[in-house]
Every structure is written in structure tokens, then in C-alpha cells.
């Protein structure tokens, strides 16, 4: 598959960015190695990127990635090798691992992700069972998947400070559950190592914390290769005590929207960009593309109808949105078969192991693509995620994908710093989003 078509004519800034990254590859890789000497890399991670042709930036980072089934099968060996490294670093004695997923039984795409993750860990040399937190599950539940695979969901039990299932006593707990609904008591104060740590979940984590850390990382990287950090970094601010349903706290959000729009217009004028700037308002915690809206003027917030307010009020697990991230919107000018697309990059430990394009036929270049109707196309890496081609154009497949991997690893580094910075955040049983 070729690199998706970049439809924007003003692609000079991104091409220049790609050129600089490719030319500085030894410097960049040395810089990353130094960073990992000082920071503990998250166990795994996925990063949503947007490429506007004049800007390439992360817009979301997920520390509980749920799309391993969408990766190119040719890169599963990379995943296995990276998984071996990740487990050895965090829990070198790990032999039995209990994988705890989201409480889904009907989302077959997510369950295929769990099956792939289980397979990767088994191929990496671990015994792995799937322990479900479904409240009414008291017997093992076999689940048949459309591709012919099957899963066995087993009820999790606790004795003292250890979790187990039937005859399986794990030495480590791997979460693929982002804890949006809070941290269950059964997971608290365990003697077994939990990866990722509980404070990486949305019960405590905030997107604004992540992008605050990313601000510093992006500036350091921009200084390293002599670029404008705006080319890789979206402006943002945040607001608390917001209630869209009751129309409370909207003044803060509207002011944030207008301030971000002002900053974007200044940059667009600097680079001669004629596109209409926009801002994304979204819940400061959570996933699944819920609680997100695209907006081009703060005044729009006061004109939302009831359906729009309800959409912004409640997110995953039925939680009420109280904190809002106001983020610069980054157009996506990549398309596959005339449908807009955005790259999602997957990492295990510090290694890029692949990714895919999120594609949506019903959304525009300035809209959230993580919505019903999306589909996925694996990134067409030729051999590895690190191999570049100095003889090809900067936007040729291996070169662009390497650039994607660099920006994604900047977000990964920001996540490491974010988790260190907020390590002492209290862990609530119930989340307040």
C-alpha cells in the first residue's frame, strides 16, 4: 500500500520538518537513548497523529492501547521482541501474567485486540490468562471471535493482597483496562506488580497533564534540530468545573477557545496558511472519541442544542464531564480512497512496532475521526519501523513512517514524564472526570 495521498498544496513546512528529522537521525536517536536513561518508558502506548501538510502533531496518547488486532501481521515479530524487552525490564521474573481487559463481551473488535495481545505475550514466552472484572461472572466464559479465534474470560478472585484465577497464580497483572470508571477495590494495594501502574488510568490521569509535559519535550526536541516547536505541538488550555448540561463554566471554555484561535491565526499568518483555524473541545480524561466537538468560535458554545450538550456531558462509563481540554485543531490532509485518514502509532516499551490509519468516509478534515463508521488500514512499513531511505523523497513511505515514529516517541517520552510527575496523585476508587 502506498503512503496515503497528502491533499494539501502547502506541504513545504512538513516536508522541511521531515528533511530535518531524516538528516538528524543519528542525533535524534542518541537524544532518545539519553532520555530513556533518565525516564522509565511506559509499558505500551498508542499515539494519534494528525498531518496537515504544514503541521504534524500528536493529538491524543493512550496508555492502554486497544487496537493490536489492526496492526500489520508482518510486524507481530517486532511486537514479540519488544514485549520480551518490556517484561524483562519491568518484571524480569514474570512467568505467569494475568491480563485484565475492559468489561466488553460484545465488542468483537476489542476482543480481537485482546486475543492478539495474549498471543504476542505467549509468543514472548509467558503463560497468560484473561481475568475479567465483569461483576456477574462466576464461571469461565468462552468467547468465539469472527476470525475463528477464541478467548476464555475467567472471573478474577482475590486472597489477601494477591489476584488469581482458578489454578493460576500470576506474578504480574497487565491492564488493558483504562480505569475510566474508577479504580476497583480489587486492584488496590496488591503485592503483585501492575503494569501500567494504576495512576496511568483515566481515574487520575488528565490529558492536560500529558500535553503540559509534551510542551517541554517538544521544545527540547525543536531546539535539538532547530525547528519551530509549533510544527509538532498543538496549543492547548484547560478548564475545570464545567457542566455543559447546566451551561456552567462555559465562559472559561469560550475564552480558552478564542485565545487558542488567536494564537493559531498568528501562526497561520506567519506561514501563509489560508485554512480556517479550529479548536477541539474534549473531556480532559477518557477515550473512545466521546465528549469531543470541533469549534471555530467560542460563541458557538452558548448556542449548543440539547443533543450537543448531552454529547459533551457524558462519556465512557456514563461519567459526567467536569474538566475540559481546549486543544488546537490540526487538520488532516491525508486521505485513502478519498476518505480522510490519520495515523495511529503503536509502541511497546520504547520500540515502534507498527500502526494503522484510522479512516472515516463520513468525517471532514477538521473533525474527530474516532467515531462510529471508522475503519482501519495497517501502515505499510516495508521492513522495520526504523529503516529510512536516504535516496527517496522525505515523504516516501519509509521516511514518512520514520517521522511518524519520532513524533510518537516524543509523546511516549511525555507520558513517561507525566507519570513520574503525578506519581503521588491520590488513587480514588471512583473517578471524577
Q: How far apart are CA 113 and CA 7, in angstroms?
A: 31
* pLDDT value for 6: 47
pLDDT at 318: 63
- For residues 97 and 200, what is the distance between their CA atoms, to the nearest angstrom? 19
pTM: 0.92
CA distance linking residue 343 with residue 320, whole number of Å: 29
Q: Using an 8 Å Cβ cutoff, are 207 and 282 in contact?
A: yes
* pLDDT computed for residue 8 by the predictor: 46
pLDDT per 10-residue tile (average), the chain, 433 residues = 47 75 96 96 96 93 95 90 90 87 86 96 95 93 90 96 94 93 92 94 92 98 97 96 88 97 97 94 77 90 87 70 93 84 94 90 80 77 72 83 95 96 56 38
pLDDT of residue 432: 39
Question: Would you state the pLDDT for residue 1?
Answer: 44
Long-range contacts of 312-315 (CB under 8 A, 24+ apart): 312/244, 312/281, 312/283, 313/243, 313/244, 313/245, 314/290, 315/180, 315/283, 315/286, 315/288, 315/290, 315/291, 315/433
**pLDDT score recorded for residue 369:** 76
DSSP string, 151-196: EEEEE-EEETTEEEBTTB--SEEEEE---TT---GGGTT-SSEEES
pLDDT at 430: 40
Q: How many C-beta atoms lie closer than 10 Å to residue 310's C-beta?
A: 12
Amino acid at each position: 500500500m502506498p503512503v496515503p495521498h497528502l491533499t494539501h498544496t502547502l506541504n513545504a513546512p512538513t516536508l522541511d520538518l521531515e528533511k530535518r528529522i531524516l538528516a538528524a537521525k543519528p542525533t535524534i536517536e542518541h537524544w532518545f537513548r539519553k532520555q530513556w536513561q533518565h525516564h522509565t518508558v511506559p509499558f505500551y502506548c498508542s499515539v494519534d497523529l494528525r498531518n496537515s501538510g504544514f503541521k504534524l502533531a500528536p493529538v491524543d496518547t493512550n496508555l492502554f492501547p486497544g487496537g493490536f488486532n489492526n496492526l500489520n501481521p508482518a510486524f507481530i515479530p517486532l511486537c514479540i521482541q519488544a514485549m520480551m524487552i518490556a517484561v524483562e525490564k519491568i518484571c524480569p521474573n514474570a512467568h505467569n501474567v494475568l491480563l485484565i481487559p475492559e468489561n466488553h463481551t460484545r465488542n468483537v473488535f476489542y476482543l480481537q485486540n485482546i486475543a492478539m495481545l495474549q498471543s504476542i505475550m505467549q509468543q514472548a514466552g509467558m503463560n497468560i490468562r484473561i481475568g475479567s472484572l465483569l461483576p456477574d461472572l462466576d464461571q469461565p466464559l468462552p468467547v468465539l471471535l469472527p476470525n475463528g479465534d477464541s478467548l476464555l474470560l475467567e472471573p478474577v478472585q482475590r486472597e489477601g493482597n494477591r489476584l488469581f484465577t482458578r489454578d493460576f497464580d500470576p506474578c504480574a497483572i497487565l491492564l488493558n483496562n483504562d480505569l475510566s470508571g474508577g479504580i476497583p477495590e480489587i486492584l488496590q494495594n496488591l503485592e503483585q506488580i501492575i503494569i501500567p501502574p494504576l495512576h496511568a488510568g483515566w481515574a487520575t490521569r488528565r490529558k492536560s497533564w500529558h500535553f503540559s509535559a509534551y510542551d517541554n519535550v517538544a521544545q527540547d526536541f525543536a531546539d535539538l534540530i532547530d525547528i519551530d516547536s509549533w510544527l509538532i505541538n498543538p496549543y492547548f488550555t484547560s478548564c475545570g468545573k464545567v457542566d455543559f448540561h447546566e451551561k456552567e463554566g462555559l465562559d472559561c471554555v469560550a475564552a480558552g477557545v478564542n485565545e487558542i484561535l488567536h494564537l493559531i491565526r498568528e501562526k497561520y499568518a506567519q506561514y501563509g496558511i489560508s485554512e480556517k483555524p479550529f479548536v477541539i473541545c474534549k473531556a480532559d480524561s477518557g477515550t473512545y472519541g466521546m465528549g469531543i466537538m470541533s469549534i471555530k468560535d467560542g460563541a458557538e458554545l452558548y448556542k449548543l442544542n440539547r443533543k450537543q450538550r448531552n454529547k459533551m456531558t457524558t462519556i465512557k462509563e456514563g461519567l459526567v464531564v467536569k474538566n475540559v481540554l481546549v486543544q488546537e485543531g490540526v487538520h488532516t490532509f491525508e486521505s485513502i480512497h478519498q476518505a480522510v485518514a490519520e495515523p495511529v502509532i503503536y509502541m511497546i516499551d520504547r520500540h515502534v512496532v507498527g500502526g494503522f490509519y484510522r479512516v472515516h468516509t463520513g468525517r471532514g478534515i477538521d473533525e474527530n475521526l474516532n467515531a462510529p463508521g471508522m475503519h482501519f488500514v495497517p501502515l505499510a512499513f516495508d521492513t522495520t519501523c526504523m529503516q529510512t531511505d536516504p535516496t527517496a523523497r522525505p515523504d516516501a513511505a519509509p521516511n514518512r513512517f520514520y517521522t511518524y515514529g519520532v513524533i510518537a516517541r516524543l509523546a511516549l517520552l511525555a507520558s513517561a514524564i507525566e507519570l513520574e510527575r503525578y506519581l503521588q496523585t491520590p488513587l480514588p476508587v471512583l473517578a471524577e472526570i
